[in-house]
Structure 1
Amino acid sequence: MQASPLWDGQRFRNVHPMLPDLRDPNRTTPSLREIFSDRKRRSPPGPLPSMSPLEHWLSPPATGLRATWLGHSTVLIEIDGLRVLTDPVWGPRASPSRLIGPKRFQPVPVALSALPPIDLVVISHDHYDHLDYSTIRELASRDVPFVTSLGVGAHLEAWGVRPGRIIELDWWDSHTLPNTGLVVTAAPAQHFSGRAVIDRNATLWSSIVLRSQRHRVFFSGDTGLTTEYQTIRERLGPFDLVMLEVGAYHPAWGHMHLGPENALKALSLLGGGPFLPIHWGTFSLAMHAWDQPAEFLLDAAPKLSTQILMPRLGEPIEPQIDQRIDPWWRNASATVQQSVATRWQPQTK
C-alpha cells in the first residue's frame, strides 16, 4: 500500500484533477432533515418484478457472455465458461447495524446458498453497500478467490477468507486467474473508502476490467466522472459490456458518484458498448426518487446510438442478443415477487 503512487503517506487519494461543474458549490451534503423528510418516493410502492435465474444458469450463454443483475452492484457475469460475482451484497441493510440504516427494498432474487459454483469474486471497495460482512462470511466457506483493491483484503481475512485466496491490486495491476485465460485489472475510479469515521481512505477504490480471449467487460464500482475513462478505453478496451453506477447521487456528491447523466458521458469516454446500469433499485441511499435513474435513461435511450440494457432483477441477459428496454419498474405496485430458490440444482442427464 505504501508503495502505491496513490498513497500520500497516510491515506489513499484521488490524483486526477476533478472536472469542473461536477459538484454544485451551492449545494451542501444533505442534512438530517432532508434525509428523514419526504421519503415516500425513495422506495418503490411494492415489490419489484424479479425472477429466479437458476434455470437459465443451467445452460451456458450462446454468445459466451451473459450478465445477471441481482441488485445494486451485485452482478453474476458468465464469461467464456467462468462465473464472476461483483460486489456481492445479500445482507438486509447497507449499514454496520442490523437495526438501522438503508434497508433492501426486497430480497435478492436468488439465495446466496443457491448460487452455482463461482470462479471469482471481485470487490471494488469497502463501503457497506459493496462489501457486506454476512455475505463474505458465507462466501468464505467456498473455495473461491477474491480480487479486490489494495487494503480491502484485511477485511476479508478478518472475516474468514484464507489469505492465499485474496489478491489485492493497485490501479493498472492485473491478475490472471490460474488455469484460465481470464485477466482481471484494477483501473482508476474517482471515489473514496472507509467503513467508519476513523478509517477514511485507508483502503483503495477501483473500477474493474475483465478480459478473456473473446470478451472484455468493464465494472465501475463507485465513481465520479473522470477523463481517466478515456485512458481505460485506450489501454483495456473496447468493451462488450459496460456496467456503470447510475443511482444514489446528489449535487453535492457529483465528484464521487456518476448519476445517469454522467454515466452516459462516462460510457462515451469508454468508447461505448452495451450499457448495463447498476447501483440503483435496491437501497435508498440518496434524496432522489428510487426510479429516477431508470426513467432518465428510458427517456434518453431513443436519442442515443448506444444500447441500454434494463433487465429485471434476476433476469440473465446476453449483450449481443438482448436489445430491448422495458420499463418493468413501473409495475412495482402490481407485482408479486417470485419465490426465492433455496438450492442450486445442477443439470443432470
Structure 2
Amino acid sequence: MQSFGKPARGERLERLHDLPLWDGERLHNIHPVLPGLRDASASKPTLRDFVCGGPDRTPSAPLPADDPRSAWLKPPASGLRATWLGHSTVLLEIDGWRVLTDPVWGQRASPFALLGPKRFQPVPVSLRELPPIDAVVISHDHYDHLDYPTIRALAKSDVPFVTSLGVGAHLEAWGIAPSRITELSWWQTHRVPGTGLAITAAPSQHFSGRGLKDRNLTLWSSLVMQGERHSVFFSGDTGLTDEYETIRERLGPFDLVMLEVGAFHPSWGDIHLGPANALKAHEMLGGGVLMPVHWGTFALSTHAWDEPVETLLTLADPQRAHLLLPQLGQATEPAERRPATPWWRSDERTARKRAVQPDPAEAADADRLAGAVPWPLD
C-alpha cells in the first residue's frame, strides 16, 4: 500500500500548522463558498455507482491522438506551447523551458491496482519519450494528480518538483530526494535554479487526502508558471471562488489559462468548477486563451465523458473566451488562436455510445472498500 504515501512530519508539519487554513487539526477552505455552488439536496454518488457506471461515461473507441515528438524538436515560434497529454497532464514550453503539470501515466486514479477509475485513453507518449523537463509541478495529492507509478519512474531522473506544502512527504517516500523538492504555501514563489522559470502557488477551493486518516493534511493549490515573456495559470482542482480576482491582480495577466472542467456534480459543486463555472473563473482571471483540462481520461463523476467539453463549447462566447481545444498529443501555441473544433466527435462513437459494463468482482470490492479512501476521490 505504498501508494497511500506518508504523512508530513517535523518541520514540514510545523509549516502546515502555521498556515491560516490550519484549524488546529487539519486544513480547511477559509474563503466562503459562493451562493448556489453546492446543491445540499443532491445525494453524492457512491463508490459502487462509479464502478458500475452509467450511460456514456467512457468513449466507445479510442480518441484520436497525435505523436508530439517531432513538434517538440523545434522551439515554439511564439515562445509558448502546450501539449495536452490527458486529464490534467500538460507539457508546457515557456520561453525555452519545459514544465510538466500533474503527471499521471498510471492506469487507475486509485490506490488499488484492480479497483477505481480506470484510464480509458492511453497517454500519447511514454514517460521515457518526453524531452528533458526543467520542472514538474503537482497541485495536490489526489490520485488523478499525484500518481505513484509515475513518480516512481520520475525518481530515476533528476528533474526538480515544485508542489503544495505537505505533498513532499509523499514524494520523499517514493524515492524523490529532498533536494529536488520545493513545497510552496499560497503566494510563495520559487525560481527554478538554472532557468528563467518562476513558479507561484495560489489559492484554490478544494481538499486533499489519499486515505481515511489524512484528509486535508496537505495543501492544495493553483499554480502560475512564468517565463521571461509568458505566463500560464493552472487551476489544479478547485471550485469557483472570487479569490481568482486577487490572483489576477497579483499575478496576471495570463497568456494561457488552464482550468478544470470535468468531474463536476451538484453535491460537490463547491470543490470543482465544471464548464459553466470555468467560464466565470476565466473571466475573473482576466481572460487569456482558455484551455480546458481534467477531462477525457478518467470517469470521475456520473456525467457523460464528453459532457464537460461539449457544454463548454456551447456556453463559451467567442468574443469573451477563446477556447484552445487541442486533441491529445497536439502541440499547440496559444498565440495562433486556432478555431475550436470538436475533434472528439465521430460517427462511430455516436453510433456505439454505451454504458460502462462493470466487472462483478470490482462491484463487490467497491462495496467492501468503500470506506478505505476519501470521497469523492478527486
Give the TM-score range, shorter chain: over 0.9
1:333 positional shift = 3.8
Cα deviation code 1:218-240 (max 9, x no counterpart): 00000000000000000000000
**What runs of 5+ residues in structure 1 fail to find an aligned partner?**
335-349
Is the CA contact 1:49–1:332 (under 8 Å) kept in the aligned structure 2? no
**What runs of 5+ residues in structure 2 fail to find an aligned partner?**
1-15, 350-378
Give the whole-Å Cα distance in 2 for the aligned partners of 1:301 and 1:18: 24
Match of 1:282 among 287, 294, 297: 297
Structure 1 pair 333–137 and aligned structure 2 pair: CA distance change class (3 A): farther
Counterpart residue identity of residue 13, structure 1: H
For 1:13-28, list aligned pairs within 5 A: 13-28=28-43
Is the CA contact 1:152–1:168 (under 8 Å) kept in the aligned structure 2? yes
Is the CA contact 2:108–2:116 (under 8 Å) kept in the aligned structure 1? yes
Is the CA contact 2:97–2:196 (under 8 Å) kept in the aligned structure 1? no
Match of 1:35 among 32, 50, 55: 50
Structure 1 pair 81–297 and aligned structure 2 pair: CA distance change class (3 A): same
Aligned twin of 1:75? 90
Give the secondary structure class of the aligned counterpart of 1:92: coil
1:306 positional shift = 1.3
Give the whole-Å Cα distance in 1 for the aligned partners of 2:78 and 2:169: 37
Aligned twin of 2:284? 269
Cα deviation code 1:56-77 (max 9, x no counterpart): 0000000000000000000000
Aligned twin of 2:114? 99
Cα deviation code 1:21-71 (max 9, x no counterpart): 100121021135643555230000100010110000000000000000000
Aligned twin of 2:373? none
Aligned twin of 1:221? 236
Give the whole-Å Cα distance in 2 for the aligned partners of 1:222 and 1:305: 23
1:5 positional shift = 1.6
Dislocated runs of 4+, deviation >4 Å: none
Aligned twin of 2:66? 51
Q: TM-score, normalised by structure 1?
A: 0.93
Aligned twin of 2:176? 161
Identity %: 65
1:326 positional shift = 1.1
Aligned twin of 2:270? 255
Alignment RMSD, CA only? 1.5
Give the whole-Å Cα distance in 2 for the aligned partners of 1:33 and 1:158: 30
Counterpart residue identity of residue 160, structure 1: G
Aligned twin of 1:344? none
Aligned twin of 1:204? 219
Match of 1:174 among 189, 198, 203: 189
Aligned twin of 2:327? 312
Is the CA contact 1:46–1:332 (under 8 Å) kept in the aligned structure 2? no
Cα deviation code 1:146-194 (max 9, x no counterpart): 0000100000000000000000000001101112221100000000000
Is the CA contact 2:50–2:117 (under 8 Å) kept in the aligned structure 1? no
Match of 2:126 among 90, 107, 111: 111
Give the whole-Å Cα distance in 2 for the aligned partners of 1:37 and 1:139: 33
Give the whole-Å Cα distance in 2 for the aligned partners of 1:135 and 1:33: 27
Give the whole-Å Cα distance in 2 for the aligned partners of 1:286 and 1:64: 36
